[in-house]
Copies of this chain bind each other. A is one copy, B any other.
């Protein structure tokens, strides 16, 4: 097995899995390699019989006056992981810039229109997953539109990944996502504290990250939570997985967008594969573990080549080789 992970990653994962299983008396997964195998199980085969779209049509909601890179990073990462089509729903002003980054994306300049909810809503029947938040910003009008888009997506049962200022919205109105078990939140340290404060009213216990993530997920009604950090801690309120795949010390902006965009595809694949392919684990937990591992591996590979000058564009260039190395062995 050629995964470029150190012992820390393997044992970190194994320890947590053991803990999860001893807590819940569940499964027989034996560490990092087994967790990677679960991700491999959800990756759909590429066959000549498929039609365009079957391996994933993902939508990214974000892109505003200030931010255009983030939704691009998320949407292009989805394509490079293996989605067939990648849409961006952004403001009028952001659209031509995001379009110009790549002819691969379908970019809709609708997020600040008076008919935003209708304009996005009519695409929802064609989307397998929505990634909400990359480059969204905090404009009240946009956040109000996104609130209604979230409601419409939930009504259709569409899986939703929420990151960045999408999490700001959730911290203001946790009820928006409460109990929606097809949602994954991907907070960094600051975003996690804000959510934890809003949902649990607790000061964060920095000593027990696993417990904190488990509790937040439970309080949200088993929404899957990915706390990004030195290790990524993932919970669906029942089990806790930890990803310590070797990444790099580089913390340039945009890495979270690679994670959320990748996760959009993997969540669709995992739900399509179903729990029998994930050994009884929640499909969303496995998808999140896959996206974390992939993002860290991309960071590692890019850093090997570019060192301190590594940017997210360098990491995205590694998505193909990293995916292949981790999940197509």
Residues of A within 8 A of B (CB): 45-55, 65-70, 72-73, 79-85, 93, 96-97, 99-109, 188-190, 230, 247-256, 306-313, 319-320, 323-324, 328
Q: Closest CB of chain B to A53's CB: distance in Å?
A: 7
Q: Please state if A69 and B189 are interface contacts (CB–CB under 8 Å).
A: no
From B47, B66, B84, B251, A54 is in contact (CB under 8 Å) with B251
Interface centre among A52, A54, A247, A328 (most CB of B within 10 A): A52
From B81, B103, B309, A308 is in contact (CB under 8 Å) with B81
Q: Closest CB of chain B to A11's CB: distance in Å?
A: 16
Q: Please state if A103 and B101 are interface contacts (CB–CB under 8 Å).
A: yes
Which residues on B sit within 8 Å (CB–CB) of A248? 46
Instruction: Please report the C-alpha to C-alpha distance between residue A164 and residue B290 in the assembled complex, in whole angstroms.
Output: 35
Which residues on B sit within 8 Å (CB–CB) of A252? 52, 79, 83-85, 104
Q: Please state if B69 and A309 are interface contacts (CB–CB under 8 Å).
A: no
Question: Which residue of chain B lies nearest to A49 when distances are taken between CB atoms in the complex?
Answer: B230
Question: Which residue of chain B lies nearest to A71 when distances are taken between CB atoms in the complex?
Answer: B103
Q: Closest CB of chain B to A78's CB: distance in Å?
A: 11
